[in-house]
């Protein structure tokens, strides 16, 4: 009886722990930025505003994919979009906590209060996160087949990216993914996984297609950020910047124990952007993108919270 009460208390206070940890690590993230790079920086306002709007749209795009997977897994009563967006935004902010567990756990625990089973939420959240990384990497591998890449990324590195995409695709293949889920479910609960937790080819193709399109949304936002800092960046470099920033973002997401992929994402972006931008401009864009990304995350959270309160 005491263990059950302790479990209930832990479940009740865990969301508050997520909130507190997010605030602390978000503050640490902001304190680690090199604000000296922003002195005397002239930014074109219209491309910057457009880039932020598109970046926020990409975050809403993740909600659409997550909701689609939940429906395909048999969730009969999926909460309205405004409520699900608010849950996703809260969990998205948990990316600033080192490791990838907080982001996934936040979605599961916060959304479980909406009447969706934790098992279905866990499978849907893992599937959505994995599809996002694999789709962004796959898009990058296609778009970065450019002679300019050879100066900053050798064939071995590109081969590693392709290998990761291939491995991720194999893991996401429904028979393999369902086998792994059933094994883990039985290991944890000592019970067989429900057939409703099994993904299918429609789920995989739909979610992958959505995130393939989402790669162009995210990459365009970064390209407009580059244009706001370096106006003479040509649209001929759009696809290259799209591939470079998606590759850096996906590698950051896939790297554990790093808040919001900082470091891995920054180094990757710096080296790749230096192929189409002057080195000093690529450095400024990389540093500014961290503040810009944090601003987009906070804006996404505030917008979803406001929308949810208005709907209430």
Q: Can you tell me which residue has the tokens 């967006």?
A: 85
Query: pLDDT class for 155, splitting at 50, 70, 90?
Result: low
Mean pLDDT of 10-15: 56
Q: What is the mean pLDDT of the chain?
A: 79
Between 225 and 274, the more confident residue is: 225
Tokens of 289: 């993108």
pLDDT band at 271 (very low <50, low <70, confident <90, very high): confident
pLDDT for residue 68 is more than 80 = yes
Q: What is the pLDDT of residue 4?
A: 46
Cα–Cα distance, 67 to 244 (Å, whole number): 28
Confidence at 32, pLDDT banded by 50, 70, 90: low
Average pLDDT over residues 243-269: 73
């Amino acid at each position: 009886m005491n263990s059950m009460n302790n479990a209930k208390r832990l479940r009740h206070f865990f969301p508050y722990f997520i909130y507190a940890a997010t605030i602390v690590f978000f503050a640490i993230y902001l304190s680690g930025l090199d604000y000296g790079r922003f002195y005397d920086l002239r930014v074109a306002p219209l491309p910057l505003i457009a880039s932020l709007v598109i970046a926020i749209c990409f975050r809403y795009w993740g909600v659409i994919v997550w909701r689609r997977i939940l429906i395909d897994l048999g969730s009969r009563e999926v909460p309205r979009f405004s409520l699900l967006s608010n849950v996703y935004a809260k969990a998205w902010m948990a990316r600033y906590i080192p490791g990838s567990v907080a982001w996934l756990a936040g979605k599961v625990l916060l959304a479980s209060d909406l009447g969706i089973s934790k098992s279905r939420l866990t499978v849907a959240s893992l599937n959505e996160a994995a599809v996002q990384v694999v789709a962004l990497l796959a898009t990058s591998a296609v778009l970065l087949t450019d002679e300019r890449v050879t100066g900053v990324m050798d064939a071995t590195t590109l081969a590693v990216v392709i290998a990761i995409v291939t491995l991720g695709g194999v893991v996401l293949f429904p028979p393999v993914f369902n086998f792994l889920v059933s094994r883990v479910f039985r290991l944890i609960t000592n019970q067989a996984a429900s057939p409703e937790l099994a993904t299918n080819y429609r789920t995989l193709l739909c979610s992958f297609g959505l995130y393939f399109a989402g790669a162009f949304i995210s990459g365009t936002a970064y390209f407009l950020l580059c244009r706001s800092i370096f106006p003479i960046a040509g649209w001929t470099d759009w696809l290259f910047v799209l591939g470079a920033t998606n590759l850096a973002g996906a590698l950051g997401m896939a790297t554990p124990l790093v808040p919001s992929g900082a470091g891995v994402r920054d180094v990757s972006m710096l080296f790749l952007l230096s192929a189409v931008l002057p080195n000093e401009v690529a450095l400024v864009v990389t540093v500014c993108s961290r503040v810009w990304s944090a601003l987009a995350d906070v804006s996404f959270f505030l917008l979803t919270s406001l929308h949810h309160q208005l709907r209430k």
